[in-house]
């Protein structure tokens, strides 16, 4: 019988380096014989990628917080059902750039939707499904936005929100980590890429008893 895979998520504000570190962790795991699927949110399955286009393009006021949350959980339900759970059932580790914590941060703390509303939508969409481990990549909001602005990307809708929004996000992610210390590990993302990757690997190796 195949041993189920693990599920690791990366969280943090814009420009924190989540996608880079997700790829690096997957590479480190695969070098040790652990097959991985690297995925992202919103997105990660064909249907969810279509919903992503609605969320990351356009002006900041395109959707209100509740509509965003409903769209995100529609995408997340499809992503979990079609990509994450099947990969884990095959013994692969799912490494995801963002998951549900981002909704509590962005639409909750950032845009003012109350936490209980998010929780109730989540309960219907994905139940109690959670990552085994979450890395919160933390750095000052202004630094993250500067990094994000240097990328060649048309997906800039959330980057266009004002600095106070992004500062709320940072604090929200730190608060989430405090509320779930067994699952979350805060990593200083202001360090260079190699240093961040090393800190993440040490944490994963310790958490899952990898050599």
For residue range 34-48, what is the model confidence (pLDDT) as tens digits?
999 999 999 999 999
The CA distance from 65 to 177, in Å, is 22
Q: Nearest 5°: phi and psi at 70?
A: -65, -45
More confident residue, 22 or 157: 22
Q: What is the pLDDT of residue 1?
A: 59
Q: What is the pLDDT of residue 148?
A: 83
* Cis-peptide into 42, omega within 30 deg: yes
Which residue has tokens 């499904």?
Answer: 129
C-alpha triplet 159, 84, 10: angle, nearest 5°? 40
Q: Which two tokens stand for residue 103?
A: 């909704």
89-128: pLDDT as tens digits: 999 999 999 999 999 999 999 999 999 999 999 999 999 9
* 152 pLDDT tier (thresholds 50, 70, 90): low
Pairing state between β 184-188 and 93-97? unpaired
The structural domains of the chain, ordered by start, are: 7-207 (3.40.50.300)
* 151 pLDDT tier (thresholds 50, 70, 90): confident
Q: Which two tokens stand for residue 196?
A: 């961040």
Q: What is the pLDDT of residue 208?
A: 95
Burial class (CB in 10 A: 0-12, 13-18, 19+), 87: buried
Q: What is the pLDDT of residue 156?
A: 81
pTM of the model: 0.95
């Amino acid at each position: 019988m195949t041993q189920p895979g693990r599920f690791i998520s990366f969280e943090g504000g814009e420009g924190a380096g989540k996608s880079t570190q997700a790829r690096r962790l997957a590479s480190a795991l695969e070098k040790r014989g652990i097959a991985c699927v690297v995925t992202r949110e919103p997105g990660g399955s064909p249907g969810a990628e279509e919903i992503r286009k609605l969320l990351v393009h356009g002006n900041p006021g395109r959707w209100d917080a509740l509509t965003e949350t409903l769209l995100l959980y529609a995408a997340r339900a499809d992503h979990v059902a079609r990509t994450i759970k099947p990969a884990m059932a095959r013994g692969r580790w799912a490494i995801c750039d963002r998951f549900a914590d981002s909704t509590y941060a962005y639409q909750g703390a950032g845009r003012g939707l109350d936490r209980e509303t998010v929780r109730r939508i989540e309960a219907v969409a994905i139940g109690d499904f959670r990552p085994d481990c979450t890395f919160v990549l933390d750095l000052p909001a202004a630094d993250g936005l500067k990094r994000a602005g240097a990328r060649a990307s048309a997906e800039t809708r959330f980057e266009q929100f004002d600095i106070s929004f992004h500062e709320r996000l940072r604090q929200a992610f730190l608060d989430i980590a405090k509320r779930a210390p067994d699952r979350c590990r805060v990593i200083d993302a202001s360090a260079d890429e190699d240093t961040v990757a090393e800190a993440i690997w040490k944490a994963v190796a310790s958490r899952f008893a990898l050599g």
